[in-house]
Amino acid sequence: MSIIRLIENRLNHHEIRQMICSPYPPAGLSIVDEVEAAKQAAGIAACDFVSDGMDVGLGTGSTVRYTVIELGRRMNEEKLDIRGVPTSIETEQLARSLSIPLIAWNEVGRLSVTIDGADEFDSQFHLIKGGGGALTREKIVAQVSDAMVVVTDPRKDVGTLGKFPLPIEVIQFGWEVTLRHLQEMCPGVASRRGGDEPFITDNGNYIIDCNFGASITDPVKLETDIQGISGVVEVGLFTHMADAVVIGSPQGIEVRIKTGGRLA
């Protein structure tokens, strides 16, 4: 079954931006609990983009964690038949604990869909990702996927990208020089994540967080420009990659499908 047909069956032709369900929050939850319940509901709802026989990219982050857990449940209880490709060591460990079969990269041709989170998204479905430090692996997986579904919450919906510091993965060799190049491009502070006790990615690299502020009006050009700096491994701008956004809020689940995208 194709992803598009699956969406039609599972979402019953709900239009973009329409709330499709509101099963939570139960009375008495705190604001923090409401946000977590909404993230869980969004993560679970995104599983409806997955059907038998698919190879699925498994994203990283607090919201998509619920997606991975639900996929594991459906495999165990509903006999869903899928294979996964994780985007981080953390997700790999979670998937293995749930007995989700994982495939090696030499077996990967194309993935049917990747489900992942985002730190920001705009009206053009451009994203900032990498708050968890897995941006390079996330982008590798997304680029070999026939569709990308993003699970998130309304706080990540922005008019212009950049309020969330833009993560950039850089190699350790000469990182100080790479940082200087990035600082020349960034209107705010650019700094190594973790300071004197630096954060190390799954790939053994550093993360430079660049505070652009809400000023990234041309994310496609900025992505290309940053990728041209020697020492940069990958930048947390994901442009022209996302096809759908599943947003969980205390009011319900909202699904947005990109016009002209691969799921339209």
What is the tens place of the pLDDT at every residue in 123-171?
999 999 999 999 999 999 999 999 999 999 999 999 999 999 999 999 9
141 with 174, same domain: the answer is no
User: Which residue is associated with the tokens 């451009």?
Assistant: 126
What mean pLDDT comes out for the span 217-226? 98
Query: What was the pLDDT predicted at 34?
Result: 85
Whole-number Cα distances in Å, 210 to 99, 104, 175, 234:
38, 33, 14, 13
* Residue 37 domain flag: yes
105 with 32, same domain: the answer is yes
Poorest-pLDDT segment among 6-20, 104-118, 216-230:
6-20
* Residue 42 domain flag: yes
Strand order in the sheet with 120-121: 120-121, 127-128, 237-238
Q: Which residues pair with 194 in a beta bridge?
A: none
Query: What was the pLDDT predicted at 32?
Result: 64
Separation of alpha carbons 231 and 181, rounded Å: 10
Contact 169, 203 (CB under 8 A): yes
Contact 146, 112 (CB under 8 A): yes
Separation of alpha carbons 162 and 250, rounded Å: 25
Query: What was the pLDDT predicted at 45?
Result: 97
How many structural domains does the chain have?
2
**Among 36, 70, 120, 138, which one carries the catalytic annotation?**
138
44 with 140, same domain: the answer is yes
* Residue 138 domain flag: yes
Contact 151, 42 (CB under 8 A): yes
223 with 131, same domain: the answer is no
138 with 66, same domain: the answer is yes
Separation of alpha carbons 174 and 177, rounded Å: 6
177 with 250, same domain: the answer is no
48 with 130, same domain: the answer is yes
Report the mean per-residue pLDDT for the chain: 91
* Residue 263 domain flag: no
14 with 136, same domain: the answer is yes
CATH number at residue 178: 3.30.70.260
> What's the domain range around 176?
166-234
* Residue 207 domain flag: yes
250 pLDDT band (50/70/90 cuts)? confident
130 with 251, same domain: the answer is yes
Q: Which residues pair with 149 in a beta bridge?
A: 115, 244
Query: What was the pLDDT predicted at 35?
Result: 85
CATH number at residue 65: 3.40.50.1360
94 with 217, same domain: the answer is no
Separation of alpha carbons 172 and 33, rounded Å: 39
Phi, psi of 233 (to 5 degrees): -85, -50
178-199: pLDDT as tens digits: 999 999 999 999 999 999 999 9
Which sign does the torsion angle of CA 159, 253, 60, 102 carry? negative
132 with 223, same domain: the answer is no
Is 107 annotated in the active site? no
Query: What was the pLDDT predicted at 41?
Result: 94
114 with 174, same domain: the answer is no
Cis? peptide before 25, omega within 30° of 0: yes
Q: Give 162's DSSP letter.
A: T
Which sign does the torsion angle of CA 211, 217, 223, 228 carry? negative
* Residue 262 domain flag: no
